[in-house]
Structure 1
């Protein structure tokens, strides 16, 4: 015969088991938090939606300049995975032991382009190109050239072409590449320098020229898990981004998939 105390103990044990199972299920479904370069938005949103439908796990993405995101991670912002628009900001976190170095992979490539408003005429980019004359006193929209990858690539290209001094005073430096895109799309600047993938995402702009690859360092997007992430879903999400299944989402937006 089971006494009241024994029945209570068995009931308590059952309740604990149910709670533990619930907690385990909740942990298994923990959303993956991603910090990603602003230029990734369209492609990464589409890929993440597909992964969520397949896995049942939500993905929360914060988009901004790689420089801003790296500084937030350094300051302790909680995230599981970082996608940078250049190697330098991933190196910055690696040097501070803030990423899982073994998970790091160079996943995407891109190009920078000169854009104008809708219907703008094509131009030829070459050494000594009269970009200042093309601007006609207007602004050249770029991400901040001292910190944001798109801006750094753009400045390097203009310096290599020998025309940076002639346009430096006309540069409207903004917080990220998508902001530069909006400046041109809204008519607030006649021309801008953005990634090819950004230009493809906005019908309000026209690509008037692509910068020659030899004018700047290769545009590479490294991806890595952050050190100490306790989310078991994060590694699975990263594997998805590296898979053939995810590849079309990025190629559709103009990225080169490096794996």
Structure 2
């Protein structure tokens, strides 16, 4: 499970002490970056892919969303992608307290930016200024010929009406502007994320299992690692602070503790 749910709630004495330690590190340290995963989004109601009850386990076959399938059968890919989009993003999702807390930490100058594995766009909607979306943004599509991007929803409307695969005015096929299975991360986005991590004394990993590469490897690039996630991760033993807590309670409390610092 990622970092939300009904288990530890971020309110006990041990959690408070750990968060004070993190607040001290952020205020006194030299640069910090935040890496987020599905546990930040699920608190807004966005279904997870790999977590308990995740859609890869219950509703969809990941092989249907492989880049090779897109190239081989773009019409069939888009039919399945429409179903996936409606399952994942058919609700009205809003940024939650964790998203807003990260914006507040950036505004206070104690984090330099956020790197996210999430594709829902909620960090951007919350107002995060420095943001690297490693796996893209599901709210956009990109033409595979001219490289132009545009909002995804009108394209999904066309797919609903039978326009499969949807094409750009230049004749190229649109692809969701997300990283599909079998694709490499955008090198420029990955480079920005690595630059943020290597320039950070503290890397704060929030709501991520730290099992998906190469995103997980970013956690090891800073001098100090802080993990806020319900379950242990492969980085638990090397984390300076490894906290089992609800991100929607722990991060707002962290903002309070930063503000309480002299």
Which structure has the larger Rg over C-alpha atoms?
1
> What TM-score results when the alignment is normalised by the length of structure 2?
0.27
> What TM-score results when the alignment is normalised by the length of structure 1?
0.27
Greater share of helix residues, 1 or 2?
1
